[in-house]
Copies of this chain bind each other. A is one copy, B any other.
Amino acid sequence: MQPNPERFLKSLHDLRSIGAVGTGVVRPAYSDKDIEARKWLAAQFRDAGLTPYFDPVGNLFGLAGDGPSLLMGSHSDTQPEGGWLDGALGVMAALEVARAAKEAGGPAISVVSFQDEEGRYGVTTGSTVWAGGRSLAEADKLTASDGTTYAEGRAKMADLVSGDFLDPGRFTGYVEMHIEQGPYLDTSGEAVGVVSSIVGIRVMEITLTGQSNHAGTTPMHLRRDAFQGLAEFNQTLNDRLRNVVTPETVWTIGHVSLTPNGASIVPGKAVFSMQWRDGDTDRLKRMEGIIRETIAEVAGARGLELSIGPMIGLEPVAMDAQLQSALAEAAEAEAPGKWRHMPSGALHDATSAARHMPVAMLFVPSINGISHNFDEDTREEDLVTGLKVLARAVASLG
């Protein structure tokens, strides 16, 4: 099987031009540009001898006949201010491998661009609904930050829908290429990462409630200052987690909202997000215990009421051993000594597919680790190496 790098790069740049803004791309799920891109992709699939198929939420498949096939792809929607590669890379690399496979007489490769991977409405919404992780009725109620519902979003593509959700059972596996979105490969000068697992995520919203008070007349020892509770929790948590985590473990307080949030008022309420990720379920659980214990201690000592919202969790997803070996052997052949096994710290559509079939992922470097940003980029030689590893691995599966 001989993938054609020029044809691949041309297709990738053609897709980039739909919704291009400077060096970036603005093509959020169900926007005019997103739908335009999906129509263009459907035509590309047809040209490659694949049958385009839009499911009820706008996931676009390019099917290699009615028999079993290996599914490859990613997503073509972007962040509100997205990079040009992100999901687009995986879709176009999959299409090029499918073309090369057609030309070589096999194997059967179907291609997919999942819808709303970037979470305008939920998280990996299109692949999650397809895989049965969330019912369509439930998903329809999700709202975007502009107040529109998922039902309204997908209604914009209703005229394109080919039929019901495709049975995942028709696919023998799922392989996705993606940019790393982190700094490891770029820093080490490696060309390719073979993903070992997609890390699990836990996130919950924590509310500390004290008492809003005049910042001039309320003595320090009588304050029930919710921000002080948050800051102390953060510092204590950092100390305690050091004994439990690995260098790959991450935890983040990314969202903070104080009430009433004025310079002259002791903050009476702090609502904040607590998110943590790791490849190991046991470690996620140990971290949860430390988080709950620490916040309860701090709240108790400071006379703050504590409320912890529901914990949303995604389990770590192990990549299929056979598919992973195929990728690793292909990586060693195409980029000897310049690849590594690595976990994926980001969530991907592969997590959804893994509910039904063996999955694997391949990473190429992100320059300076930047993604979800107009500056996102990858060296052309790395894009091509990734394509070649993908094609070689798929060919070896025969």
A residues near B (Cβ < 8 Å) are 180-184, 199, 201, 203, 205, 213-222, 225, 227-228, 230-232, 234-235, 238, 247-258, 261-267, 273, 275, 277, 344-347, 369, 371-372
List, in ascending order, chain B residues with CB within 8 A of A253's CB: 227, 267
A181 engages B214 (CB within 8 Å): yes
List, in ascending order, chain B residues with CB within 8 A of A180's CB: 217
Which of A199, A217, A222 has the most CB atoms of chain B within a 10 A radius of its CB? A217
List, in ascending order, chain B residues with CB within 8 A of A205's CB: 263
B248 engages A254 (CB within 8 Å): no
**Assembly CA distance A249 to B218 (angstroms):** 10
List, in ascending order, chain B residues with CB within 8 A of A199's CB: 216
Nearest opposing residue in chain B for A261, CB measure: B255
**Assembly CA distance A99 to B8 (angstroms):** 92
Closest 5 CB pairs of A and B: A182-B217, A263-B273, A216-B345, A215-B252, A217-B345
A250 engages B345 (CB within 8 Å): no
**Assembly CA distance A225 to B225 (angstroms):** 23
A217 engages B262 (CB within 8 Å): no
A221 engages B203 (CB within 8 Å): no
B231 engages A219 (CB within 8 Å): no
List, in ascending order, chain B residues with CB within 8 A of A214's CB: 181-182, 345-346, 371-372
Q: Which of the residues B230, B235, B252 comes within 8 Å of A263, measured between beta carbons?
A: B252
Decide: A222 near B345, CB < 8 A? Known: A214-B372, A261-B255.
Answer: no
